[in-house]
Structure 1
Amino acid sequence: MQGGSSGIGYGLKYQARCISDVKADTDHTSFLTGTLSLKEENEVHLIRLSAGGTELVCEGLFSHPSEIWDLASCPFDQRIFSTVYSTGESHGAAIWQIPELYGELNSPQLEKITPLGDNVGKIKSWVCLSLLIGAHFV
């Protein structure tokens, strides 16, 4: 390819298993990604494509207590998302809210809106999204 494109990258501290676009953010191209580390504190990254479209910028970095196996953004609120996680002994899911950032990268803790309980078996990722959407209508 002549005059080829170099692509855009973003580095995480730990391995990630999942990424989700933030559908409710209609003003930006945004993503959430969650790390998968059994021994270290996991993280959720809020990433946005820069205005010029040349780089990915971390808009928020949040601690998550367990390894994240899947996540889904809320289709109608850009600050709400759900995770399916594993503690190493059990699986669970929860709905979270991103705190107001006020231009800070090192922001306060995620607010757990609803824990969806622990389960000895694996929780399907589509269940997490269904519960996230259903929680809005309850």
Structure 2
Amino acid sequence: MNMYSELKKQHQNEVNKFPFIFAFSNKQLAEGMAKLGLKEDETKKLISIGNGGFIRKTDKEAFNEMFNRHEEELKNAIDEDSTGESFIYQMFDYELNNHEYCITYEIDDTLDALGLTIDEINNNDKLLHGLRKAIGNQKSCF
């Protein structure tokens, strides 16, 4: 079982259940607002989350708390891996694959996805060990 993958699935399920909409036209906005229980003239009750996404202003705190908790759960899982051999390795392996390391041989997208910097990794033995192990286990895409 990949602990990192399971945590990502758990977080994605929670995000999917959160009441938000995406709208790129007035029609989509009206339809989305109805799904949120708002009338077309209640646009002041919405707040943008960027990229065409909107939530109710009343849900802003819950939205922020959810993402802060997700970040904290990831941090705790990393902290609990004392060697870099389990969760940390699985995390890097998953994201390296997800960002096509086997083609690009670049880790920037992987680090961005994890909110980590190269300095953080170089200053943390278990992160460095997990990353090196994951890179070493990458298989050719061809």
* TM-score band w.r.t. shorter chain: under 0.3
Select the structure with the greater relative contact order (CA < 8 A; seq sep ≥ 6): 2
**Structure (1 or 2) with the greater helix fraction:** 2
Q: Which has the larger radius of gyration?
A: 2
**Structure (1 or 2) with the greater strand fraction:** 1
TM-score normalised by length of structure 2: 0.23
